[in-house]
Amino acid sequence: MGESVDTTLPGHLHEPLLDGDKQNDVELQPTAAAYGAGATNFIKTCFNGLNALSGVGILSVPYALASGGWLSLILLFVIALATFYTGLLIQRCMDAKSDITTYPEVGELAFGRNGKIIVSVFMYVELYLVATGFLILEGDNLNNMFPNVEFELLGFMISGQAFFVIVVALVILPSVWLDNLSLLSYISASGVLGSAVIIGSVFWCGAFDGIGFQQKGTLINWKGISNSISLYAFCYCAHPVFPTLYTSMKNKRQFSNVLTFCFIICTFGYASMAVMGYAMFGSDIKSQITLNLPTGKISSLVAIYTTLVNPICKYALMTVPIVNAIKNRFPMNYNTKPLSMLISTTLLVSNVIVALAIPFFGSLMSLVGAFLSITASIILPCVCYLKISGNYKRLRLETVIISGIILIGIVTAIVGTYVAIVEIVGQI
């Protein structure tokens, strides 16, 4: 696929993945990263990595566990390990060429222009659907807090959920018009703290506000396994950000340590939330755990309000890459402020339309996880690494392992996507 690539690479591509001391530094491009090319230390990179990995998936992991049963928790750890490994593969792909700074450029190095296009499409569609999920999440939680909002407009009955989606979109609108999103980037960095607050609030609600952790649940539910895998995969869909984190580091030899730290902390958080939520509500758990929390308790309100604030702050940052990609399709003399505002507004309106047409947060995130996250975070890094390193020509243990991951990823993506689409169609 695409143009051929020279697979005669530096020896470091064939060294052990976790031997950070032997990795060569990568030269940076001026446009490398939003976090500051070559200026970020270990602690700040860890914080940025945690912010990338800890997202709205924290709300759906209890539902994922309930879908597959207690034993499906093992799959969370398997996916965490697989995505950690593929994160290291992306790093090694970037080490192959000094001027690579983005995920699509990894695809281009592996398979030429077609590879860049494929990686870009998966990135942008994933960002688009996650941004749509933000609106659905906001509408669901506000409708849960104010359940009796419903009215007729121009002969159409507007439900509370639809009304709140539109209201939140209007609140978000000014943020997508900003040229400089540096302020929003600082606000969105609160995502790590927000995830911790949500976990703490849910624990408090279960331990001290009368709900308890009494539900026994089901050991295994084979029918829901594919849904569990898809939602777990959605939690680890930060791979497009990893090149940015890598190029931003002062000492790139520490990147594997950054990934290790971030994956351990986030996996502990996801597993804790999954176990708590399932033990609190059992099979009655909803697609977002905040929808199960009693709105009269302070701990519940803290969790719900934290859930509401984060997506509003992060929406613009999620859609900026899409807006910039569309703008770059126009001639330079058309790249004006009005054009940027028009594209941003149109994108937001389209997100609202999709959110109103498919207001099913759990099912949509399951589709994103199955079709996009598994492909972008598991399959593509493996395929690109095999091509760039030339290991696909050699029968090694690593090649067998990576090939196995690709095969399992493809099967899981196909089954999960089919199940998610059937579920969405059944709810429309």
pLDDT in tens, 394-424: 788 889 999 999 999 999 999 999 988 988 8
In a domain, 211, yes or no: yes
CATH number at 345 reads: 1.20.1740.10
DSSP track, 79-136 = HHHHHHHHHHHHHHHHHTSTT--SHHHHHHHHHHHHHHHHHHHHHHHHHHHHHHHHHH
Closest CA to 120 of 243, 292, 221: 243
Confidence at residue 230, expressed as pLDDT on a 0 to 100 scale? 92
Report DSSP state, residue 249. Answer: B
Residue with tokens 């398979």: 111
Count other Cβ atoms within 10 Å, centred on residue 42.
15
Q: Which has more pLDDT, 139 or 22?
A: 139
In a domain, 100, yes or no: yes
Each residue's pLDDT tens digit, 234-289:
999 888 888 878 888 888 888 999 999 999 999 999 999 999 999 999 999 998 89
> Tokens for 119?
């990686």
Closest CA to 9 of 24, 19, 29: 24
In a domain, 7, yes or no: no
Confidence at residue 29, expressed as pLDDT on a 0 to 100 scale? 33
Q: How far apart are CA 53 and CA 276, in angstroms?
A: 20
Average pLDDT over residues 386-401: 86
Cβ-count burial of 355 within 10 angstroms (0-12 exposed, 13-18 middle, 19+ buried)?
Answer: buried
Confidence at residue 23, expressed as pLDDT on a 0 to 100 scale? 38
Each residue's pLDDT tens digit, 98-147:
788 889 999 999 999 999 999 999 988 988 988 898 899 888 888 888 88
Number of folded domains that form the chain: 1
> Tokens for 261?
């730290």
pLDDT of 327 strictly over 90: no
User: Residue 312's pLDDT band (boundaries 50, 70, 90)?
Assistant: confident
Helices (H), 225-336: 225-234, 242-248, 255-281, 298-327
In a domain, 11, yes or no: no
Average pLDDT over residues 374-392: 91
- The pTM score is 0.82
Q: How far apart are CA 319 and CA 359, in angstroms?
A: 19
Check if the beta carbon of residue 248 is closer than 8 Å to that of residue 38: yes
Q: Is the dihedral of CA 263, 125, 228, 82 positive or negative?
A: negative
Residue with tokens 């159409």: 156
User: Residue 18's pLDDT band (boundaries 50, 70, 90)?
Assistant: very low
Residue with tokens 């689409």: 421
Check if the beta carbon of residue 56 is closer than 8 Å to that of residue 194: no
Report DSSP state, residue 40. Answer: B
Each residue's pLDDT tens digit, 44-85:
788 878 877 887 789 999 999 999 999 999 999 999 999 999
Q: How far apart are CA 73 and CA 363, in angstroms?
A: 19
Amino acid letter for position 368: V
pLDDT of 37 strictly over 70: no
Give me the phi and psi of 55, to 5 degrees please: -130, -155
pLDDT of 34 strictly over 50: no
Check if the beta carbon of residue 307 is closer than 8 Å to that of residue 294: no
Domain that holds residue 64: 35-427
In a domain, 27, yes or no: no
Each residue's pLDDT tens digit, 140-196:
888 888 887 777 766 667 787 888 899 999 998 888 887 655 555 555 566 778 888
Report DSSP state, residue 17. Answer: T
In a domain, 6, yes or no: no
Q: How far is CA 290 from CA 59, 140, 281, 300, 348, in A?
A: 7, 9, 11, 7, 25
Q: Highest mean pLDDT range out of 108-117, 313-322, 327-336, 387-396?
A: 108-117
Print burial letters for 92-103: b (CB count within 10 Å at least 16), e (below 16). Answer: bbbbbbeebbbb
In a domain, 8, yes or no: no
Count other Cβ atoms within 10 Å, centred on residue 132.
27
Average pLDDT over residues 308-328: 79
Closest CA to 175 of 291, 344, 58: 344
SS3 content of the chain, % helix, strand, coil (to 5): 75, 0, 25
In a domain, 173, yes or no: yes
Q: Which has more pLDDT, 327 or 36?
A: 327
Confidence at residue 74, expressed as pLDDT on a 0 to 100 scale? 96
Confidence at residue 155, expressed as pLDDT on a 0 to 100 scale? 65
pLDDT of 86 strictly over 90: yes
